[in-house]
Amino acid sequence: MFSQKTSIKVPDSLKNKSYNYLDDKMYSFRKDSSKAAPYLNTYLYKALKEKNWEEVVYAYQNILHQSPEKIRIIYADSMVYAAKKSTDNALIGSAYLSKGIVYYGQKKYESAFDNYITANSYISLTDDQYQHNKVKYHMAQVKYLLGFYDEAISLFQDCLEYYIKEDTRAYLNCLHSLGVLNNKIGNYGLCSEINKKGISESERLKNLEMIPYFKHSEGINLYFKKNYGTAIADIESSLDSIRENKDFANEAVGNFYIGKSYWALNKKEKALPYFLKVDKTFTEKNYMRPDLREVYELLINYYKSKNDQKSQLLYIDQLLKADSLLNETNKYLITKIHKQYDTKELLVEREKIHKQLKREKYYDVILITIVLMLFTFSVFLTYRYHKNKKFYKKKFDEVMQSPASLDKPILKLKKEKAEILDIPEETIAFVLKELEKFESEKKFLAKDVRLTTVAGMLHTNSKYLYKIISHYKNKRFIEYINDLKIDFIINLLKENKMARNYTNTALALEAGFSSTQQFVNAFKARTEMPVNFFIAEINK
């Protein structure tokens, strides 16, 4: 059950020291377990060697207080074992009481209460009134936490009569607990009377540390009296001192009822930060009690009204965790409180939100993809626009620096050319001369200029004309005519500012095109730029 004395390492310099000496050293280093360890071990070694079971119990009690929470129960069991060796009922009862307190600290309230009952069975056989009331006080605490409020009130009332004479702080603690319990059973008037008495007694006994706790209790009581404004003020005034005491449990309760008061006043935005502080305490300290679970129901409903599904999901998960903890620590009381959401409903709601968020994520991906595609396309268009603009500007400058016709002069007739075309030289020379006349007289401006029509004008046949234009102009007939028309328009725009105000349709008519689109296409083919760009540049 506990280490034998032979396995305990004890410095030689401490082996012959007295219990009082070792006890003084343990107390001096109570906040530094590494420095306290040699004295704790020596004390235990000495007690075991002497089979002084009372001192063994005391040694294990001190080791327990220096140990991590998880292993304290081991030393509590050792205390019980050693106490039973002594056959001293008071010592055995005290050991079981310590074991119950360890379970209480681990929130194993039923196990704590069982050990308190056992402790009481031994202590009741003694005349030790201090131990009688101590075990009764701890039993009352568990009764309160498990929701047996009337039984807890009776026990605290018994303790009050003893502590009023013997222990100032314990007396005020009992008074405070009685106020809280009367609030729990709806005796709001009596709760206020007790809180008022608690403040005056704290002042009389010069124990000012308890005053904030009575104010805290009264603030919560005022919430239930629907006096929300004063409730907020009283609780707020108590929280600084409670925070200084590092009492996160009462701080969380205070924040909850401040938030609830603002909520009742329909100031939900003001309530929210206080509810989030309660959640923070649960997350960081794993502290939860049955009435505080409502904070998650309120947060779930708040974010549901805001259509904030991610926050809803977060607090559904938190409520499920809170219920899991409460089912372990407050199984009886959790069944008595009103729940808007039970576990089954929470799981259904969570699954529903998960599916909705999954759908939204899918649609978000699609939307992002579309936006990226549009952005990419927009970048491409912008790039192409600037690239084209630069290219068009270059072509514009070339056109403006060119002579009236963009074509090169007709090549001088050579004999070999005639042979290639299989057309008499005289005919080629004649047709080329007639083409010059055709161009100078601007007969190309006629509408629907056809190969046969022009061939007739030039007193030749279509075949010869086609070959000559193709060879000497290096163009098909329709391209040759269109280019002449466009050259005419370019010169018109260069020389006539009024013409620059013409529409594309009007310019098409001027050049003899059969349609506006035909004109626009021909201009682009000839100059490698849109007609609108050309006019805009020439107007600058």
Write out the chain's pLDDT in tens, 540 residues. 444 444 677 887 888 888 898 889 888 888 888 888 898 999 999 999 999 999 999 999 999 998 998 999 999 999 999 999 999 999 999 999 999 999 998 888 889 989 999 999 999 999 999 999 999 999 999 989 888 899 999 999 999 989 999 999 999 999 999 999 999 999 999 999 999 999 999 999 999 999 999 999 999 999 999 999 999 999 999 999 999 999 999 999 999 999 999 999 999 999 999 999 999 999 999 999 889 999 999 999 999 899 888 898 899 889 889 888 888 776 654 444 444 445 566 666 667 776 776 777 767 788 888 888 888 888 888 888 888 888 888 888 888 887 655 554 544 554 445 556 788 889 999 999 999 999 999 999 998 899 999 999 989 999 989 999 998 889 999 999 999 999 999 999 989 999 899 999 999 999 999 999 999 999 999 989 999 999 998 998
Alpha helices in 265-406 (DSSP H): 268-285, 294-305, 309-329, 331-334, 343-401
Phi, psi of 132 (to 5 degrees): -55, -50
Give CA torsion, residues 39, 41, 46, 52, to 10 deg.
110
Amino acid 404: pLDDT: 56
The residue type found at 170 is: A
Length of the chain in terms of residues written = 540
Q: Half-sphere exposure of 525 toward its Cβ, with a 13 Å CA cutoff?
A: 16
Which residue, chain included where needed, has tokens 């939204």?
Answer: 360
For residues 64 and 73, what is the distance between their CA atoms, to the nearest angstrom?
8
Q: Which one-letter amino acid corresponds to residue 8?
A: I
The rounded distance, in Å, linking the Cα atoms of 194 and 179 is: 5
Please state whether the predicted TM-score (pTM) of the whole model is above 0.75: no
CB 160 within 8 A of CB 166: no
DSSP secondary structure code for residue 67 in this structure? S
pLDDT confidence of residue 330: 67
The answer to whether residues 93 and 101 touch, using CB atoms and an 8 Å cutoff, is no
Give the pLDDT of residue 204: 95
Reference 286, options 316, 314, 257, 326; nearest CA is 326
pLDDT at 418: 53
| Contacting residues for 291 by C-beta, under 8 A, at least 6 apart | 256, 337
Residue 157 to residues 101, 133, 395, 489: CA-CA distances in angstroms?
A: 21, 11, 104, 112
Sign of the dihedral defined by the CA atoms of residues 74, 80, 81, 82, in that order:
positive
Please report which helix (H) or strand (E) contains residue 518, including its range. helix 516-527
Nearest to 250 by CA among 208, 278, 222: 278
Instruction: Specify the long-range contacts of residues 305-314, CB closer than 8 Å, at least 24 apart.
Output: 309/353, 309/356, 309/357, 309/360, 310/357, 312/349, 312/353, 313/350, 313/353, 313/354, 313/357
Domain boundaries, the chain: 147-245, 415-538
- Which CATH fold would you assign to the domain 415-538? Arc Repressor Mutant, subunit A (1.10.10)
Amino acid at 523: F
Range 147-245 has CATH code 1.25.40.10: yes
User: Same fold for the domain at 147-245 and the one at 415-538?
Assistant: no
